[in-house]
Amino acid sequence: MDEPDRSRGHRSRNLAIGLLLGALLIGGTRTLLFRGNEAAALAAPPIPAVPAGAEEHLAAALRFATVSDASAKGSPEALGALVDHLERTFPRVFAGLAPRRVGASLRCTWTGTDSSLPPALLMGHLDVVPVEPGTEGAWEHPPFAGLVTDGFVHGRGALDDKGSVIAILEAVELLLAEGFVPRRTLHLAFGHDEEIGGNDGAKAVAAGLAAEGTRFAWVLDEGGMIVRGAVPGVERPVAFVGIAEKGYVSVSLEATAAGGHSSMPPDQTAIGIVAAAAARLEESPMPLRLSEPTYAMLQRVGPEMPFGSRFAVANVEILEPLLLRSLAAQPKTNASVRTTTAVTMIEGGTKDNVLPAKARAVVNFRILPGDTVATVLAHVRDVVDDERVQVEALPWMKEPSRVSPVHSEGFRAVEQAIRQVFPEALVAPYLVLGATDAHHYEGLTEGAYRFAPFEVTTSDLDRIHGTNERVSVASYAKAVSFYMTLMKGN
């Protein structure tokens, strides 16, 4: 290299170093200036007191085995008995809120003093998932015993979702005893088949409300909770308020073959064809993307993160690919940045020495807002790319929900109640990874929010739909206080 070339090389390196240092300076400055945008808690009266022993009402409700599964289609007798029990337990609610049964679901209306205000809706569901056969012995207490011991209420449904239902009813009963009347009309709706899609419960209740011309200022259903340790490096508990939920579709992959004796096999059996197709889908997941709910969550929790993570979030416009790869590294966060692929079932073959005439796999996709059932099916056909495999969507499916606004009356109402009852918590919007009954009400409101006001640990989250489901007595009492505060503030 001659002298001019060396000079140009030095200038290029110096320029590159200067640009890098400039970018780091700008990024570091943005990180230092990155601040949270949570609302300040309003001045409020003392947090409503909850009488000692209120947790027994929840425990009693857990003794009704209101199990929903795809084959049983619910437990009609247990559901009817539970609603009868609720009528005895909360007499003021059933005397004053015009209760009506919609099939096995329950709907109530608490008329407010200001008819100019659009109503709001508090939701929950009465049914629970089954206890997985063979795991009964692993429960510390029988799943439907409804025991209060060691500071916890134990039983299936304590968190999902009888805890919310009974806390709402408890809050209304206590407010009625005070003589309180809300300004805004409040509706209560408790579905009976949420765990199998809500098509006979919440969907029917929503259709009835729509026929009456009802539109809600906001809707609050189950969803996120207050979790400590959910975000690495963030010491404060985070109250996750769902502003959207993922969609759902399961896809069948089926192949047929001639069958015959296993001593003369073809290059691939029907099982091999299907297994290879399923493996290709696992190896080629749908693309990573920062959806609106996850972006909104990061903007709330980012300022509380350690510097490295805070730097990435504060400069997301530049570092989005790096941030997405980091989130994709763990299953729990990967699910928030892509439509997920899960091979959940495979079947085929009748005997070890007989070639299978047919094989089938089922792949479940949880759909990120922005993707659709149609784009998932197109992805499956493109990746499988095998004319021997029949690709078909299974009947039950739903598109991702609409994203509800954060800068809205409904989100502010929920946030203020959280800040008043749980002042230490950081309130963050987020994407609900599962499904709730709230999507059935999307046509009746612009603001569907998903939050259950329970303080839990990350290990408690594993108990939901799992073994040893429980909620602490203290957490249940705070949940009742949250609903009372929310209703008084609106």
Residues with active-site annotation: 127, 194
Q: Are strands 147-149 and 340-348 parallel, antiparallel or unpaired?
A: unpaired
Signed CA dihedral, 141, 147, 150, 154: sign only: positive
CA atoms within 13 A on the CB side of 27: 18
Number of neighbours of residue 331 by Cβ within 10 angstroms = 9
405: left (phi over 0), alpha (psi -120 to 50) or beta: beta
Signed CA dihedral, 363, 367, 372, 373: sign only: positive
Helix axes 3-33, 307-314, angle to 10 degrees: 100
Q: Amino acid letter at 483?
A: Y
Q: Which helix (H) or strand (E) holds 244?
A: strand 238-245
**H and E: helices and strands count for the chain:** 15, 17
Nearest one of 225, 167, 227 to 483, comparing CA atoms: 167
Query: How far apart are the C-alpha atoms of 274 and 253, rounded to whole Å?
Result: 6
String of DSSP letters for 187-224: EEEEES-GGGTSTTTHHHHHHHHHHTT--BSEEEEEEE
∠ Cα 416 420 421 (to 5°): 120
CB of 301 closer than 8 Å to CB of 238: yes
Number of neighbours of residue 438 by Cβ within 10 angstroms = 28
CB of 421 closer than 8 Å to CB of 47: yes
Q: Are strands 152-154 and 247-256 parallel, antiparallel or unpaired?
A: unpaired
Query: How far apart are the C-alpha atoms of 311 and 319, rounded to whole Å?
Result: 9
Signed CA dihedral, 129, 65, 470, 56: sign only: positive
